[in-house]
């Protein structure tokens, strides 16, 4: 168990310039309607209002029946569900139960002194809220309160997303995705049919009084307003581009939260896991290598050579002895001559297969003595002795009289 690799659960609401600084505190925010409002929150409501007005006031009334009723039902349901879920996610206070019971949101929070505690939440106790919290609680620096089952702080809601309002946040995302797709389909249908067959889009009774296809009516059927074809197409283009932008923002976010739900983790847990993986990768790169570097220095050619032990073990190469020092140092050429001498002695032994073990031992001792008292002319003497030993082998006359055969004693 590596107990020292675990990090303390901590969140600093406002990073101080020094550990001795007193971090200023602000009153906690109750929900997304608390001041100050976020810019993204205002932009979201403006986009929602524009798409709703354009869809239900201009393009869905132009659809031929019964498709206009289907579009009213599906698009209207998605917009109403999104509106209610959005309001709920903004209004619900996601703070921990102990924080909601203790705190009065009108009073400011106490100052946080880093000389006493280094982190806001430590050992499951928040030193700013001064309450004991659970393991999934995090102190949000923007809302300045501890949030139960903290997921993230959403700028579009201007509120934290936690355990109490996460399901409403997820429903708002899902309904917004469905509604945006329906709006894109409706507007593109109207845009294409305007060039292919505009009479399909002019089925409302109000179009009977109009002559030609250049004039169109919007906000049917209650407040018809005349507009040109260019104005209708420009609004359609702007609506499609804006809807595609919203879909590119909401769609990946919805897919990401579907992935988090399948894993059973929150956004904050996912961020912590990614940080831990990154920290482990950095630690592995910074760990010192225990393996010694490969020694590429050339070996010394004039190392002591033990030729006698090589011959005694029957090997055909000279062994380098780096530990014991010999009285005499032979060069590599001398070792080569020794190997040649050993091969010649083996050839001599092949002719003396019928000799006794005593004779073999005597020949081996003689070879060892010859090696010790070796001189450059010893190889010639060995070759002459091998010739003489081969001549001493008894010969048998070939019955045909054409050659002399050597008797086989094996």
Q: What is the pLDDT of residues 70-107, one digit of tens each?
A: 999 999 999 999 999 999 999 999 999 888 887 667 76
111 has a pLDDT exceeding 80: no
250 and 314 assigned to the same domain:
no
135 and 236 assigned to the same domain:
yes
Q: Which residue segment(s) compose the domain that 96 sits in? A: 7-204+212-272
Break the chain down into helix, strand, coil percent, rounded to 5.
50, 10, 40
More confident residue, 94 or 319: 94
Position 1 in a domain: no
What per-residue confidence (pLDDT) applies to 371? 57
Q: Which two tokens stand for residue 174?
A: 């899902």
308 and 191 assigned to the same domain:
no
What per-residue confidence (pLDDT) applies to 387? 41
138 and 227 assigned to the same domain:
yes
Active site residues: 154
Confidence bin at 50 (pLDDT 50/70/90): very high
DSSP string computed for 332-381: HHHHHHHHHHHHHHHHHHHH-TT--HHHHHHHHHHHHHHHHT--TTHHHH
Position 51 in a domain: yes
What per-residue confidence (pLDDT) applies to 119? 76
What per-residue confidence (pLDDT) applies to 304? 41
Q: Decide: 169 and 87 in contact? Cβ < 8 Å.
A: no
What per-residue confidence (pLDDT) applies to 240? 96
241 and 316 assigned to the same domain:
no
Q: What is the pLDDT of residues 138-181, one digit of tens each?
A: 988 888 889 999 999 999 999 999 999 999 999 999 999 999 99
Q: Cα separations (Å) of 51 from 46, 241, 359? A: 9, 11, 114
Beta-carbon contacts of 375 under 8 Å, excluding residues fewer than 6 positions away, are none
Position 283 in a domain: no
Position 409 in a domain: no
Domain boundary among 272, 293, 314: 272
Position 308 in a domain: yes
User: What is the pTM (predicted TM-score) of this model?
Assistant: 0.62
Q: Could you give the number of structural domains in the chain? A: 2
**In this prediction, what percent of the chain has a pLDDT beyond 70?**
60
238 has a pLDDT exceeding 80: yes
97 and 236 assigned to the same domain:
yes
What per-residue confidence (pLDDT) applies to 167? 95
Lowest mean pLDDT among 16-25, 101-110, 266-275: 16-25
Which range scores top for mean pLDDT: 122-131, 230-239, 327-336, 373-382?
230-239
323 has a pLDDT exceeding 50: no
Position 224 in a domain: yes
49 and 167 assigned to the same domain:
yes
What per-residue confidence (pLDDT) applies to 114? 65
More confident residue, 44 or 372: 44
163 and 307 assigned to the same domain:
no
328 and 243 assigned to the same domain:
no
**In this prediction, what percent of the chain has a pLDDT beyond 90?**
40
In degrees, to the nearest 5, what angle opens at C-alpha 267 toward C-alphas 47 and 271?
120
Mean pLDDT of 324-328: 41
What per-residue confidence (pLDDT) applies to 282? 86
317 and 257 assigned to the same domain:
no
Mean pLDDT of 182-204: 93
Q: What is the pLDDT of residues 328-347, one digit of tens each?
A: 444 455 566 666 666 766 65
More confident residue, 118 or 274: 274
Domain boundary among 272, 294, 310: 272
319 has a pLDDT exceeding 50: no
257 and 315 assigned to the same domain:
no
378 has a pLDDT exceeding 60: no
117 and 250 assigned to the same domain:
yes
Q: Report the chain's terminal Cα–Cα distance, integer Å.
A: 73
Confidence bin at 54 (pLDDT 50/70/90): very high
Position 138 in a domain: yes
Domain boundary among 272, 289, 311: 272
Position 233 in a domain: yes
What per-residue confidence (pLDDT) applies to 206? 86
């Amino acid at each position: 168990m590596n107990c020292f690799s675990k990090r303390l659960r901590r969140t600093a609401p406002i990073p101080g310039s020094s550990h001795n600084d007193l971090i200023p505190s602000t009153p906690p925010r109750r929900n997304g309607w608390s001041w100050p409002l976020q810019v993204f929150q205002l932009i979201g409501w403006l986009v929602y209002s524009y798409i709703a007005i354009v869809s239900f006031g201009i393009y869905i009334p132009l659809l031929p029946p019964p498709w206009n009723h289907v579009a009213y039902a599906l698009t209207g349901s998605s917009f109403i569900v999104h509106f209610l879920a959005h309001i709920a996610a903004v209004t619900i206070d996601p703070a921990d139960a102990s924080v909601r019971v203790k705190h009065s949101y009108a009073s400011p929070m106490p100052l946080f002194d880093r000389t006493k505690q280094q982190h806001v939440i430590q050992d499951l106790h928040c030193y700013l809220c001064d309450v004991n919290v659970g393991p999934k609680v995090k102190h949000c620096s923007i809302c300045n309160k501890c949030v139960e089952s903290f997921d993230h702080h959403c700028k579009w809601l201007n509120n934290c997303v936690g355990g109490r309002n996460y399901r409403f946040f997820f429903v708002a995302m899902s309904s917004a995705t469905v509604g945006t797709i329906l709006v894109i389909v409706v507007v593109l249908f109207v845009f294409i049919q305007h060039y292919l067959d505009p009479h399909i889009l002019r089925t409302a009774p109000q179009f009977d009084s109009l002559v030609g296809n250049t004039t169109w009516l919007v906000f049917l059927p209650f407040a018809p307003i005349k507009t040109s074809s260019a104005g209708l197409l420009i609004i359609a283009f702007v609506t499609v581009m804006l809807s595609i932008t919203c879909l590119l923002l909401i769609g990946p976010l919805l897919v990401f939260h579907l992935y988090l739900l399948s894993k059973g983790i929150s956004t904050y847990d996912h961020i912590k896991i990614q940080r831990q993986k990154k920290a482990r990768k950095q630690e592995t790169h910074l760990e010192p290598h225990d393996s010694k570097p490969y020694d590429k220095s050339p070996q010394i050619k004039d190392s002591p050579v033990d030729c006698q032990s090589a011959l005694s073990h029957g090997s055909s190469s000279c062994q380098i002895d780096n530990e014991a020092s010999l009285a005499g140092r032979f060069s590599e050429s001398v070792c080569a001559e020794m190997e040649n001498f050993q091969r010649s002695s083996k050839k001599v032994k092949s002719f003396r297969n019928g000799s006794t073990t005593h004779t073999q031992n005597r020949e081996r001792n003689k070879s060892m003595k010859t090696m010790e008292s070796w001189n450059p002319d010893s190889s010639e003497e060995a070759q002459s002795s091998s010739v003489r030993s081969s001549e001493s082998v008894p010969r048998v006359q070939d019955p045909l009289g054409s050659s002399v055969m050597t008797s086989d004693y094996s």
